[in-house]
Structure 1
């Protein structure tokens, strides 16, 4: 058998790649842009020093959030905001805590080019991928073109759109399985909708109204991140942050942009008695002026409900 009939099998970032020993042709097993995006998401090739990937800060088993208060960038720099979860983003209208991106594609560009994060501007990322035999072949196969700014962000965003989750006790309960949620979670749901009034901000299928709110974490002193104000320069936006969705929230601790709370119980306790946590808040939403007046057992019930929003794929982890 001639040498042109022989193929060398190698592993490329976890994917099996076949290379002809004579022609250097690469056979790519990926077939969709979602699969390509998933591979790129987990590949440190997209950070300047090849030290981190998207998955370093958005860990798959924790609903694509980080378990650390603040993620570490390519150069070892600690970032200034907690990494949010990436599940259930298909219907969202704003991205990042301050809403500076209007689409998932635009969101991809943020950490890629940020100096303290991946620090690899997209033009440089494209050139690096063009020089990589596997990715050069993969983009040709899937997009019928070479790597470009557009199809790079398109692939990663397409993967992120697959991260929709509905296999939860809560969803089964809504579908008629009265035993799917615990009695505590059922009580917590009624409190969430009623007495606690959480659904005002956390509404809809993914439990977010896609708005920006100041819940009172900004006081200009200890906690000095003004949130959306950095983007809009509108003084009415001081202390405002994007209201996150709550699906899978039980596995995405710590919570808030500044990782102030380590548990869901702390979060609910904060809303119950906010003045005990942050002194002299600036621009706090009027709806949080008097707390929730919840008893301790009611706090527990709301936590039980929030835990029932966890998709089975993450509960098993």
Structure 2
């Protein structure tokens, strides 16, 4: 089990007072400490880990996470695992690097609510942090090296030790026969790999899957960043790694279970028939049977890294 998971589950106020003596001081260990330290929130009550919970693949189990003063985020918290190779971040893709991503929750008034200059000032008032930053960066804390440290830690949150990984590496018994049939559905009849492709099961694109209608579903997604009408209702296609532990699903957390997600894709019009600019590939029902839905769900569960399976 990775040390970062153990740290994330057991972190307390007392453990935040010092760095782990058994670990060398690096950008990663500094970033880990910052990730779990509420010093980066305005009222010192919220840390990055408050929303990105380690035992759930650094996602959250709430539809919307709570920031300072119990303010709710505007979108569901996405998982932070397997992000090192991504070209964009957030549901709307507004950040191009992990460093940019790390800054946004700190300064967001609905999340940590702390101006970045104030965050740097706080770190410079802490002799332990100053000593650590000087040792690693040969500099006192700055906005740049604060974000570099957080991003360095986030880049270590890679997962590739799932039953599925063992299966494709030659262990035919790593997944059940039901899940194996689900895998064939995933790449065949269900056509899931049209969007969820590659090693991390994401094509790193933006798609409109019909969850915007301008009335009951008002979040315009990517359009709010690009102001391109062709991207109205577009959202980033997330990785499916560890998807079984990152419920609820979609940018608005509207689906509580994987089965609900599959049922929606199977017959989108049955739930939302007025989605604006929905991708044409979703206009034809998949015609999956109940058994096939079970098989596809079983396959998706095999994408969970071993460290999360018993959480």
CA distance in 2, matches of 1:149, 1:13: 26
Say whether residues 1:77 and 2:71 are aligned partners: yes
How far apart are 1:133 and its partner, in Å?
Answer: 1.8
- Counterpart of 1:122 (choices 85, 102, 116) is 116
Q: Give 1 or 2: higher strand fraction.
A: 1
Tell me the TM-score normalized by structure 1.
0.92
How far apart are 1:121 and its partner, in Å?
Answer: 1.8
- Counterpart of 1:309 (choices 294, 303, 307) is 303
How far apart are 1:28 and its partner, in Å?
Answer: 10
Say whether residues 1:93 and 2:106 are aligned partners: no
- Which is further off, 137-146 or 45-54? 137-146
Tell me the TM-score normalized by structure 2.
0.93
How far apart are 1:122 and its partner, in Å?
Answer: 1.4
Map 1:161-200 to 2 at 5 A: 161-200=155-194
Q: What is the CA RMSD across the aligned residues, in angstroms?
A: 1.6
| Alpha-carbon displacement from aligned partner over 1:217-238 (angstroms, at most 9, x marks no partner) | 1111111101000001111111
Aligned to 1:160: 154
**8 Å contact kept, 1:28–1:137:** no
| Alpha-carbon displacement from aligned partner over 1:30-79 (angstroms, at most 9, x marks no partner) | 51110110110011000001110000000000000000000011121111
| Alpha-carbon displacement from aligned partner over 1:122-173 (angstroms, at most 9, x marks no partner) | 1110110000122111111222211011110000000000000001000000
CA distance in 1, matches of 2:302, 2:164: 5
CA distance in 1, matches of 2:309, 2:161: 10
Number of equivalenced pairs: 299
Aligned to 1:273: 267
CA distance in 2, matches of 1:53, 1:291: 42
List runs of 5+ in structure 2 lacking aligned partners: 1-11
List runs of 5+ in structure 1 lacking aligned partners: 1-10, 19-26
CA distance in 2, matches of 1:83, 1:17: 28
- Counterpart of 2:56 (choices 38, 41, 62) is 62
Aligned to 1:204: 198
How far apart are 1:112 and its partner, in Å?
Answer: 0.9
Hey, which bits of structure 1, 4+ residues long, moved more than 6 A? Answer: none
Q: Give 1 or 2: higher helix fraction.
A: 2
Aligned to 1:38: 32
- Counterpart of 1:224 (choices 218, 230, 255) is 218
Aligned to 1:250: 244
| Bigger radius of gyration | 1
Aligned to 1:135: 129
Aligned to 2:143: 149
CA distance in 2, matches of 1:315, 1:269: 24
